[in-house]
Amino acid sequence: MEDITPAPQSKFNAATYSEALTAFTVGWQDSDISKILDFIAPAIPVGRRFEFKRADNAEAFYSESDDLRAIGSEFKRVRYSGESVNEKTLNKGLTMRVDHDEVADDDWQERYTQILLQRLLRNELRRAVAALETIAKTSDSPAVWDSSANPDSDIRAMLSLCADESGVRPNRILFGEDAWAMRLDSLESQSTAVALRASALNPGELAAKFMLDGCKVMSARYQQTPSQKAKIASNKIFAFCAFGGVSKDEPSNLKRFYTPSSEGTAFKVYLEEHSKYTDITVEHYSSIVAASALGARALEISNS
């Protein structure tokens, strides 16, 4: 029998720490959730308490006509005066109790560690999408993509509005699965050559069409009720800036700060052995922060 519960912090010590399972977390990746999470909120390693600057948007667009240096003098001095923000990463984790009567294979510890990793990353992905929905401006009414619509024209208009607001064109767009399907349905219902070509574009080709660094379609789901799953993102398209660097001050809309362990890993695993069961705990320290709301927008899609 397996049971997932919070675990008392006092149990996490050198005696229960599992070096082998912690090393397993380094090599393991969820091919969908991890990539989408990093696409939305780039991961940046920091200490438990850290400071970063929210850039002054206006400063990025100042322009001088007096940047010429006279002989014997210095260059004009400028200041970077973005708002300093103090934050800390939060301790997150889950514990699974595994009854020894239910253990069948030699790799059971790795398998249950993987289950906990997937669950923790799915939690992070839901937080990242919720944060993106919070900061993204949404149009007053949904865009209707029917047989007479031009979906890509609506997306271009959204990207232009983002650039007007922040001065920087977004470099990434994220489709909910339903929004991507409605784009295809709209284009495929039209008998023009332009629409048919557009419907054949994959996400990477669509990103190139819009001159973006990336475009992804998110199909991840979570168990909303005991009998029903729900899409984490459904009928919306998000446009935003995200850069995969390691600087605390680079201009992504969202950032996922995490604190590596003393061994340099993002996750740590603990095993507490008992006569009839074992508690497996996976923990990490992270915080998803909205560094800037400027230039992030969402487009809600309807097919009627």
pLDDT at 1: 46
pTM: 0.83
For residue 65, is it within any domain? no
Residue 193 located in a structural domain: yes
In a domain, 179, yes or no: yes
Q: Into how many domains does the chain fold? A: 1
Comparison of pLDDT for 265 and 68, the residue scoring more: 265
Per the structure, the complete domain to which residue 10 belongs is given by: 2-57+79-302
Residue 270 covered by a domain: yes
Quick check: is 239 in a domain?
yes
Q: Has residue 73 been placed in a domain?
A: no
State how far the Cα of 128 lies from the Cα of 122, in Å rounded to an integer: 10
Give me the CATH number covering residue 122: 3.90.1690.10
The per-residue pLDDT for 60 is 52
| 138, part of any domain | yes
Give me the residue label for tokens 């401006």.
137
Question: pLDDT digit string (tens) for 267-300?
Answer: 999 999 999 999 999 999 999 998 888 889 999 9
What are the tens digits of pLDDT across the range 16-56? 888 888 888 887 665 578 889 999 999 999 999 988 766 55
In this predicted structure, the answer to whether residue 247 has a pLDDT above a threshold of 50 is yes
* Rounded Cα–Cα distance for residues 88 and 38 (Å): 19
* Residue 180 resides in a domain: yes
Measured in degrees and rounded to the nearest 5, phi and psi for residue 69 equal -100, 125
Give the number of residues written for the chain.
304
| pLDDT, tens digit (0-9, with 9 covering 90-100), for 166-207 | 888 999 999 999 999 999 999 999 989 999 999 999 999 999
